[in-house]
Structure formats: structure tokens, C-alpha cells
Amino acid sequence: MNDDAEPTVPTPAPADPTAAPPSANQPVPSPPTPPSTSPLSGLTPPAPGAGAFPLRPPGSGAAYRQTTGGRSTTQRSFGQPDPQEPRFRPVYPGQAWPTEQPQYRPMYTPPPPPDWHQQQARSYSAEPPKVNRVVAIAALVALVIGVLAGAGAATAVVALGGNNPPVTEQPDPPVGNGADPKIRTGSVSAVAAALLPSVVQLKVQGSDNSDATGSGFVIDNVGHILTNNHVVAAAAKGGSIQVVTNGNKTATARLVGRSPAYDLAVVQVSGLDAPSVQFGRSEQAVVGQDVVAIGSPLGLAGTVTSGIISAKNRPVTTGDSVDQASYISALQTDAAINPGNSGGPLVDMNARVIGVNSAIATVPGAGEGQSGSIGLGFAIPIDQARRTAQQLIANGKASYPVIGASVDMQFEGGARVSAVSAGSPAARAGLRVGDVVTAVNNQPVDSAEVLIVAIRTYQPGQAVRLAYERAGRARTATVTLAQQIG
């Protein structure tokens, strides 16, 4: 006998589970041969004795080798199984099966959860996934506004001088008091259905043949429409403003008033057949809440996108120069906003307006015509827009708060005072050139833009507490804000 040959061992039949396992010194009876015509099923394992060349019973000291290739039958690192290789058979009761699943084993499909029908019902009433749906390109967009940081001259004026007009109480025309939309489902489609009739497209033609497109929304029952100043600025010295409603009706609007400081404007269409919106409270907005933006991006009227509030109190500067710059403490959103969305509403899931879409961030180095939504959009909080709209309707102009000083726009680490107007609130509070303002009412200030934005969140006549440094020493001063028209 060749000592390297694989010994042949008869395969035992299934034993009684209560019986003791067979010993290597006891003879193992031969099992009955299974019927060759029995089909395999997902519930019955292969019958004992199927195949050939069984494994050696436990306890055997014989060599464990394969005569055809010298390769271990239990360790395979790669490659496909050899069709000539013997199949595995259990040698003793309870021996584990190989990890490879047989081809006949049926796939297990778990049963549906008990509340499957309720889950399906909720999927139709819950808000759909937040996806930016604007994937179109228009042929012509006249005006693009982006976020500018530190552009322009080296200094910006927080107030032009000490001879400011007195602070007076402004009348409060009723705006943003439209019918309660009563949206409670949180559905984007329901919000869109409630707001689309109130949102209009603006087409502006200037006297110098400049033009612009944008959006707006109806804020009262006499046809006043709130939009951005940069949308209608081309028609400020002559030109025309055309309003296109959601029902595709066109009417000519008149410019009621505008505020470059807050980048807001109001136009009016007599006999406008469109419902007014209802304002919410932007100060109650929370980061992460769902919002919907509506407008006419790239000339595509009636466009709806959804997202969330990404941040609050973002200091944003818009405009092409210091004289025309707007400083906004903005709501940041990732809802898709593109050129043409300017002036449209940003609304909560109860269909109440909480912001005016005004600006987008652009990729540094992007050329003209390459700007678009990168998930960084900014809206003017409606709490500020409400006050400005009321002033514009009542007087045709609006005021903003000032301290009567200029600040260095290139300085970092605070807002360094570069000039103080005689008789101004800053001069009366003891501020001097070279002082570095570091906080407004405990709100940190790390740049000139942040100081200007922080001041403009208050109203003329209010007192604010400034923290500043002079020659390395910390100081404080209380400043009563004056007002300036613009």
C-alpha cells in the first residue's frame, strides 16, 4: 500500500441526536444509498452519502491530502472551484456546512412591517427630498448680483456726518397681512400652490437702454410689490417696469421708492389681480428649517426650489461700489437661487414669507455668465424688509441708522475708525480715529463689514453699546443711533 494515498472511509448514516458521537475505534455502519431521482429542495439538505471521497472522521491520524493536486480541500484563496473536485459531505452528525451557499437555497424576503400602509400614506404627505430642481439655462440675463468681500475703496462710511435729520416715528402701512395660507402639511407642492399666484416677474428697461430682470411679490391689497433695489435701479431715472403675473398677464408698474442701503424697493400696479402674501417672523427662523424659494431665475417665471436655512445673521455686502453697496444681515439658504430670483420670496413651510432673496455667492474667478447657484444664497430678513417697505410706501424713501464715523475696510481683527464726523453720535460717545471696535451689544465684530451690518440691524434712535480698544486698552461707549436717508 502506498502511504501517500488517501484512505477510503465508509460514510456513517445519521445518528440519533441523543446518542454519543462515534469513536474512531468503533466501526461505522454504511448508510443506505439515497434515491438518485430525489430533487434537491430549499428545506432538505443533501442526503448523507451523496458524492465521493468523503473527509476523514475526527480523530483520524491519517495524512490529509488530495491525490489529484496536493491542494488542501478546506483552504482556497482564489480561483474557481474545480468541477472534478469532490463535493463536501458531513462525516458525523452536527458537522458544520461550508460557508458557500448552495445554488438551490431560496432567497429570504422579510415580511413588510406591521404599519406598512401607514408608512406609505405618510410618504405622500411628507415633504419630498430637498432637491434643487433648477436645471435650465436662459439665453439672456441682464443683471447678476453676487457677494463681494472687501471690494471698492479702502474705507466705507458708517455715517456721512453729524448733521443728520431728526429721528421721527414712521407711519406703518399694513403690509404682509394677506390671508392666512393655512398650510400645515409641510408639502413643497402645497406651499408653491399657495404662493405662486402672489409672485410676479419684473422686466425693467432703463432710459439708457440698460435692462434687468427679477422677481417680486405682492404685499398688500392695493398692488404694492416688494423687490430688490438692484432689480429696478435701471428705471430710477426714467424707463419702464413691466410686471408679469403668474397668470401671464402683463401690466406697467410705477416705482414707489427704493433703498440702496438695504437693497429694497417697492413698485405698484393699480388693479393688480393677485393676492397678497402673509409675512412670518425671520427672527424666529432656526438653522436647519425647511424653506422654499420662488421666483424667475434666468427668466424662467414661476420657478420653485427648496432647501433649508443654512445660517443666520450672515454679514453680506452687495453692490459694485462703496456708494452703492448694501449691507445685509442675511439668512443663508441652500435652496437654489440664480440670477432672476432677486426680489422673490423665501418662505417657510407654512407659506409665510421670511426673507427676500437678494444675492448668491460665486466661485472665485468665475467669469461673467458663469455664475449660478452653488448652494450659497442669501435673503434679506423680512423683519427688516417690513420696516423698509412701510417707509417706502409712506414717504417714497427709507432711513437707516448711523453712528457718524468711517471705518477702514482693509483692516482685520475688528473695525478700525478712520474718521469721526463732528457732532455725530460717535463723536459724542468719545470715539477717536484709530479706535478699533470689537463688539456691538456683545456681538463680536471682526471686520468693518460686520460692524456696518450689525449697526443696520437696529433702528434710528436706539442706543447700542460699543466695545473698542484704544492703545491696547479695552473700553466701552454707549451710542444713540442717528438716521440717514438712503
Kindly write down the DSSP assignment for every residue of 435-451, as one continuous string: -EEEEETTEE--BHHHH
Q: What is the DSSP string of 322-342?
A: STT-EEEEEEEE-S---TT-T
Radius of gyration of the chain (CA): 38
Nearest-angstrom CA–CA distance, 356 and 282: 11
pLDDT, residue 462, reads 94
What does the pLDDT look like over 325-349, one tens digit per residue? Answer: 889 999 999 999 999 999 999 999 9
Q: Which residues of the chain fall below pLDDT 70?
A: 1-171, 184-185, 319-324, 365-371
Q: Where in the chain is the domain with CATH 2.40.10.120?
A: 170-394
Measured on CA atoms in the order 85, 90, 92, 97, is the torsion positive or negative? positive
Question: What is the residue whose three cell numbers read 417665471?
Answer: 301
pLDDT, residue 375, reads 87
DSSP state for residue 412 in the 8-state scheme: B
Nearest-angstrom CA–CA distance, 170 and 264: 17
- Are the CB atoms for 258 and 266 separated by under 8 Å? yes
Name the nearest CA neighbour of 482 among 164, 95, 263.
164
- For 118, residues 6+ apart whose C-beta sits below 8 A from its C-beta are none
What does the pLDDT look like over 248-273, one tens digit per residue? Answer: 999 999 999 999 999 999 999 988 88
- Are the CB atoms for 294 and 345 separated by under 8 Å? yes
What does the pLDDT look like over 269-326, one tens digit per residue? Answer: 988 889 999 999 999 999 999 999 999 999 899 999 999 999 999 999 876 555 568 8
- Are the CB atoms for 371 and 362 separated by under 8 Å? yes
Amino acid of residue 322: V
Nearest-angstrom CA–CA distance, 296 and 166: 40
Region for residue 86 given its phi and psi (left: phi exceeds 0; alpha: psi -120 to 50; beta: otherwise): beta
- Would you state the cell numbers that stand for residue 11, as one nine-digit string? 460514510
What CATH class has 170-394?
mainly beta
Helix boundaries (H) for 223-363:
229-232
- Are the CB atoms for 308 and 291 separated by under 8 Å? yes
pLDDT, residue 159, reads 39
Burial 60-92 (b: 16+ CB within 10 A, else e): eeeeeeeeeeeeeeeeeeeeeeeeeeeebbbbb
pLDDT, residue 362, reads 80
Q: Where in the chain is the domain with CATH 2.30.42.10?
A: 399-485
pLDDT, residue 110, reads 56
What does the pLDDT look like over 89-107, one tens digit per residue? Answer: 665 565 555 554 444 444 5
The pTM (predicted TM-score) of the whole model is 0.65
- Would you state the cell numbers that stand for residue 473, as one nine-digit string? 486698552
pLDDT, residue 114, reads 58
Burial label, 475 (beta-carbon count in 10 A; 0-12, 13-18, 19+): middle
CA torsion, points 185, 189, 192, 194, in degrees to nearest 10? -50
DSSP state for residue 268 in the 8-state scheme: E
pLDDT, residue 172, reads 79
Q: Collect contacts of 416-422 with beta carbons under 8 A, ≥24 apart.
A: 416/448, 418/155, 419/155, 421/159, 421/160, 421/161, 421/162, 422/161, 422/162
Cα angle for residues 402, 405, 410 (degrees, 5° grid)? 115
- Are the CB atoms for 383 and 282 separated by under 8 Å? yes
pLDDT, residue 137, reads 28
pLDDT, residue 363, reads 75
Name the nearest CA neighbour of 352 among 457, 272, 276.
276
Q: What are residue 468's DSSP bridge partners?
A: 437, 475
Superfamily of domain 399-485: PDZ domain (2.30.42.10)
Name the nearest CA neighbour of 11 among 66, 49, 58.
49
Residues with active-site annotation: 230, 263, 342
- Are the CB atoms for 416 and 408 separated by under 8 Å? yes
Burial label, 388 (beta-carbon count in 10 A; 0-12, 13-18, 19+): buried
